[in-house]
């Protein structure tokens, strides 16, 4: 039997990580773990509790008391928070803004690291996020750093958004703000791991980027 790999995908917002990770997991029959959804769920529970996001101690307390799980339902990954399916609620412009604050909290990251490492412990996983190759799975069999131009990423997100009616410029600004926060924070900043392979997909189709990574897994 071939070995079940661990695959780490990192990169900035809207670089195609989750689309690629989902397809890879399906092709390889692996589990897909969306770590961004977990940070989004923490942001949601803190916002819903009426707490001030900048109140670090309270945010940590709420995060500790919350149960966050990921489940595959009819081929789609769903995020559950204390038993409620919050998959739609975590993809709003409000959460896009709140999540950077949550993700820069060292204690919350500690809780997430433990959870995410446990989820990946059996292998056969594709995990995407910001610190997967650097912190969560430093020994991953394959690390990929996804990149795409800001123009391509903003246009793709504009196409994706359901009912939020943001303009291309607003989307672009939010992506730039979030990337800056992710790259400049003290705790586990977004950066390419030294042993990660760079995949710039600005001019690639989704199928091409998935095939490229499948090709890399075959060389392992």
174 binding ligand CDP? (CB under 6 A): no
Least distance in angstroms from the C-beta of 37 to ligand CDP? 6
Question: Quick one: which of 182, 175, 179 has its CA closest to 160?
Answer: 175
Using the rule CB under 6 A, which residue among 26, 36, 111, 177 binds ligand CDP?
A: 36
Q: Is 105 a binder of ligand CDP (CB under 6 A)? A: no
Helix axes 168-184, 150-160, angle to 10 degrees: 120
Binding mask 14-33 for ligand CDP (x = CB under 6 A): xxxxxx--------------
Cα 27 to Cα 21: distance, rounded to the nearest angstrom: 10
Instruction: State which of residues 57, 206, 214, 220 lies at the interface with ligand CDP (CB under 6 A).
Output: 206
Q: Is residue 130 within the footprint of ligand CDP (CB under 6 A)?
A: yes
**How far apart (Å, rounded) are the C-alpha atoms in residues 94 and 101?**
12
Determine the Cα–Cα distance for residues 177 and 44; give it in Å rounded to an integer.
19
Residues at the contact surface with ligand CDP, assessed by CB under 6 A: 11, 13-19, 35-37, 39-40, 99-100, 103, 129-131, 156, 160, 178, 182, 201, 204-206, 209
């Amino acid at each position: 039997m071939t070995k079940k790999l661990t695959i780490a995908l990192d990169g900035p917002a809207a670089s195609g990580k989750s689309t690629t990770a989902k397809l890879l997991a399906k092709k390889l029959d692996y589990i897909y773990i969306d770590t961004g959804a977990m940070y989004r769920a923490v942001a949601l529970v803190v916002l819903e509790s009426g707490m001030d996001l900048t109140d670090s101690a309270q945010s940590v307390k709420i995060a500790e008391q919350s149960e966050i799980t990921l489940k595959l339902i009819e081929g789609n990954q769903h995020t559950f928070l204390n038993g409620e399916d919050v998959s739609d609620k975590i993809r709003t412009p409000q959460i896009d803004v709140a999540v950077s604050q949550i993700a820069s909290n060292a204690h919350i990251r500690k809780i997430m690291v433990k959870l995410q490492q446990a989820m990946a412990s059996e292998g056969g996983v594709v995990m995407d996020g910001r610190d997967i190759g650097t912190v969560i799975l430093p020994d991953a069999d394959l690390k990929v750093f996804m990149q795409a131009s800001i123009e391509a990423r903003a246009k793709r997100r504009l196409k994706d958004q359901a009912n939020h009616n943001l303009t291309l410029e607003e989307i672009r600004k939010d992506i730039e703000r979030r990337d800056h926060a992710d790259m400049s924070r003290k705790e586990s900043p977004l950066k390419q791991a030294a042993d990660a392979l760079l995949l710039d997909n600005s001019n690639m189709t989704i199928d091409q980027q998935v095939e490229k990574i499948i090709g890399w897994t075959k060389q392992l």
